[in-house]
């Protein structure tokens, strides 16, 4: 079963508040993101952070509290809970000296991930991933958006290269990330009249940096996928094919970038630049080229170049 562990970072400069929401699953993520928060504290000097955890008494919250920064407060918020998101908004309003000046920015980063070909993926898997990645982003954005409009601020949604191009065995994840991208594009067009910028950051493979997928979590997911598949699917695909599929996912998580600075640099620029890009693509050259091919060339040619078994 996938578990939602939500984390959000809210920061303020003078009377303007910048909200940075980071969701994750698995313990390794809980060690990575507090370090990222600390980098933001250093870069955005003069800002104060409100760090919202699903469990304010959990390990992640304790790590944040142990930073002992007078510019950061820890509160509780689960992005899957209407009530807790509303309570977080109320807390921020009460904390601001001049709440009428609003929020400067909101950065949503949905961090739950899974794998599995369509015939192995249950509807529950699709729903669980979407609940966090898509509906969590929509829920938090809608809750804070009135305050952001007051400040003519920024909404920065971190999606993925898989929110622009599909990939075999990643349909649950792609559906949620394509959804966030579409939501962001619509919101960007709606917010121009308010002077609000809506920005997408589309990283490539940073699994090694965040720990969003690990060898252990892949093994657990693989076991659940196989046990949940019908007899027909198990017989038609076979154990050997499925094992190769799992091995490919493990190689993927070991091949990604281990330094989050590319993403953090783009988030910082999106929040602070007077003229931010509408889209940022922190990624290696290989993935940048593949993204351009998959999104600009005719579909048949792009598939033939990259997808095994595709024909022209």
Q: For residue range 95-117, list pLDDT tens digits in order.
A: 877 778 787 888 887 568 888 99
pLDDT of residue 241: 94
Following DSSP, what letter does each residue of the chain receive, concatenated? ----EEEEEEEEETTEEEEEEEEE-SHHHHHHHHHHHHHHHHHSTTEEEEEEESSTTSHHHHHHHHT--TTEEEEE--TT-HHHHHHHHHHHHHH-SSGGG-EEEEEEE--------GGG--HHHHHHHHHHHTHHHHHHHHHHHHHHHHHT-EEEEE--GGGTS--TT-HHHHHHHHHHHHHHHHHHHHHGGGT-EEEEE-----HHHH-SS-HHHHHHHHHHHHHHS-HHHHHHH-HHHHHHHHHHHHHHHHSS---THHHHHHHHHHHH-SS--SEE----HHHHHHHHHHHHS-HHHHHHHHSTT---
Q: What is the pLDDT of residue 25?
A: 26
| 9 assigned to active site | no
CATH number for the domain harbouring residue 209 = 3.40.50.720
- Answer yes or no: is 248 within a domain: no
Q: Is residue 205 part of a domain?
A: yes
How many distinct structural domains can be found in the chain? 1
pLDDT number for residue 296: 96
pLDDT tens sequence across 84-98: 999 989 988 888 777
> Which range marks the domain in which residue 264 is found?
5-213+259-303
Catalytic residue among 126, 173, 237, 306: 173
Q: Tell me the pTM.
A: 0.85
Q: 103 in a domain, yes or no?
A: yes
pLDDT at 1 over 50: no
The 10s digit of each residue's pLDDT in 156-208 is: 998 999 999 999 999 999 999 999 999 999 999 999 999 999 999 999 888 77
**Stretch among 16-20, 122-126, 132-136, 303-307 having the lowest mean pLDDT:** 16-20
Does 232 map to a domain?
no
Residue 218 lies in a domain: no
């Amino acid at each position: 079963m996938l578990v939602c562990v939500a984390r959000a970072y809210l920061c303020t400069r003078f009377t303007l508040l910048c909200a940075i929401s980071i969701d994750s699953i698995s313990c390794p993520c809980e060690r990575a993101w507090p370090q990222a928060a600390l980098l933001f504290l250093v870069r955005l000097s003069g800002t104060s952070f409100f760090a919202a955890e699903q469990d304010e008494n959990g390990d992640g919250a304790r790590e944040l509290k142990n930073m002992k920064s007078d510019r950061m407060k820890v509160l509780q918020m689960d992005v899957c809970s209407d009530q807790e998101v509303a309570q977080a908004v109320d807390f921020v309003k009460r904390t601001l000296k001049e709440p009428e000046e609003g929020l400067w920015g909101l950065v949503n980063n949905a961090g739950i991930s899974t794998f599995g070909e369509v015939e192995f993926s249950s509807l529950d898997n699709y729903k669980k991933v979407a609940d966090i990645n898509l509906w969590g982003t929509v829920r938090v954005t809608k809750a804070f958006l009135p305050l952001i409009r007051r400040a003519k601020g920024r909404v920065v949604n971190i999606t993925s290269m898989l929110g622009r191009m599909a990939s075999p065995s990643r349909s649950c994840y792609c559906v949620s990330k394509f959804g966030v991208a579409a939501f962001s594009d619509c919101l960007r067009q709606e917010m121009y009249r308010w002077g609000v910028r809506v920005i997408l950051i589309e990283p490539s493979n940073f699994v090694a940096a965040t720990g969003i997928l690990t060898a252990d979590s892949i093994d657990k997911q693989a076991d659940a996928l196989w046990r949940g598949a019908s007899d027909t699917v198990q017989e038609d695909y076979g154990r050997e094919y499925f094992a190769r599929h799992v091995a490919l996912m493990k190689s993927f998580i070991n091949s990604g970038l281990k330094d989050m600075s590319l993403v953090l640099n783009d988030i910082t620029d999106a929040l602070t630049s007077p003229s931010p890009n509408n889209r940022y693509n922190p990624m290696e050259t290989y993935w940048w080229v593949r993204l351009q091919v998959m999104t600009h060339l005719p579909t048949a040619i792009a598939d033939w170049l990259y997808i095994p078994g595709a024909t022209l």
